[in-house]
Amino acid sequence: MTKIRFACIDSEAPPLFDLSQDGGKTRTGFEPEVAQLVADELGLELEWVVLPWDDMIPAVQRGDAEGVWCGQGIIPSRQEQVNFTRPYTVFNESVLVRAGDPARSAEALSGYKVAAIAGSANMRLAETFPGAELVPFGASDDVFGDMIQAVRDGTVDAMVDDDVVTIPLGDEPEFDIAFTAETRNPWGVGVSKDRQDLLALIDGAIERVIADGRLETVWQKWMPGLPYPEQPLRDGRPS
C-alpha cells in the first residue's frame, strides 16, 4: 500500500476544515492536517475521497476508501457498521439559534424545530430535548451548510453541532449560541470491520502523534480558544 484514502465531505466548516478550491484534492483545517500527520507517520500518500455525508461509511465498507476521517463521533450506531480507532479529538456540543432568540436551555426548546445530522451524536443529544421537533439532515454534499441556512431562513429554529464549528457561528450578528452541553464526545477514524490490520496501523500512528505532541501543536494552530483534551487523548478514551 503506497497511499491511504480517507472519505470526507467537502464543506466550509472551519476550523475543522475549509471548502477546498479543487474538489477536495487539497484540503485545509484541523482534521485534514491531523490526517496528514498520520499519513506521513505511516509513510503513505494521503488521498481524499469526497462524498455526501451518508455515503462515507458505505464507501469504507465497499473498499472505496480505507477510513472515514470526517467528524465521526464514536457512537453505537456507527460502531455497528465500522470499527473505530482511538480518539484523535474530543468535543462538546452547542445549540445554534437566530440572533435574539431567548432560548438558553434544553427545556426552552420545547416546540422548536431542531436540526441535527441524522444518526449523529448531535441528533442523539437533540433527542433529549423535551418537546422539541427533530429535523434530521443528511444525504447532502454540504449538510453542515444546509443546516446553517435552515436556521438562517427560519426553516428550523435551532441546530445542534459540535462546539468547535458552532461556537464561531455564534460570533456572527445573525446567530446566537443558546447553550453548550458538556458531552465530551470522542471522534475517531472509521475503518472496515474486516481490516483489523489497517485499524491497528492507523491507531498506532494516532497514538504516536498524540504522544510526541504533534497533534497538540495542530490543535493549538487551529483551535487556540478551545482547551486541548490531553488526558482523554493520551488515555485513548473519553474522559
Where in the chain are the domains? 3-88+188-235, 92-184
Pick the CATH number of 3-88+188-235 from 1.10.10.60, 3.90.1150.10, 1.40.20.10, 3.40.190.10: 3.40.190.10
Q: In what order do the strands lie in the sheet with 3-8?
A: 45-50, 3-8, 67-68, 190-191, 83-84
pLDDT digits (tens, 9 = 90+) for 73-116: 999 999 999 999 999 999 999 999 999 999 999 999 999 999 99
Q: Which run of H or of E encompasses 28?
A: none
> Matching CATH topology for 3-88+188-235 and 92-184?
yes
Question: Which of the residue ranges 21-25, 107-111, 216-220 would you say has the lowest mean pLDDT?
Answer: 21-25
> Cβ contacts of residue 167 below 8 Å, gap of 6+?
94, 177, 180
Neighbours of 110 (CB within 10 A): 12
How buried is residue 147: exposed, middle or buried, by Cβ count under 10 Å (0-12/13-18/19+)?
Answer: buried
Please state whether the predicted TM-score (pTM) of the whole model is above 0.85.
yes
Q: What average pLDDT does range 150-164 have in this prediction?
A: 96
Which has the higher per-residue pLDDT, 143 or 42? 42
pLDDT averaged over the chain?
Answer: 95
Residue 20 grid coordinates: 477546498
Q: What average pLDDT does range 40-63 have in this prediction?
A: 96
Domain boundaries 92-184, corresponding CATH code = 3.40.190.10
Q: CA nearest 71: which of 124, 148, 17?
A: 17
Residue 45 grid coordinates: 500518500
Can you give the pLDDT at residue 239?
40
State the Cα–Cα distance between residues 168 and 183, nearest whole angstrom. Answer: 18
Is residue 92 within 8 A of residue 185, CB to CB? The reply is: yes
> Cβ contacts of residue 224 below 8 Å, gap of 6+?
none
Query: In this prediction, what percent of the chain has a pLDDT beyond 70?
Result: 99
pLDDT for residue 141 is more than 80: no
Can you give the pLDDT at residue 237?
60
State the Cα–Cα distance between residues 1 and 127, nearest whole angstrom. Answer: 42
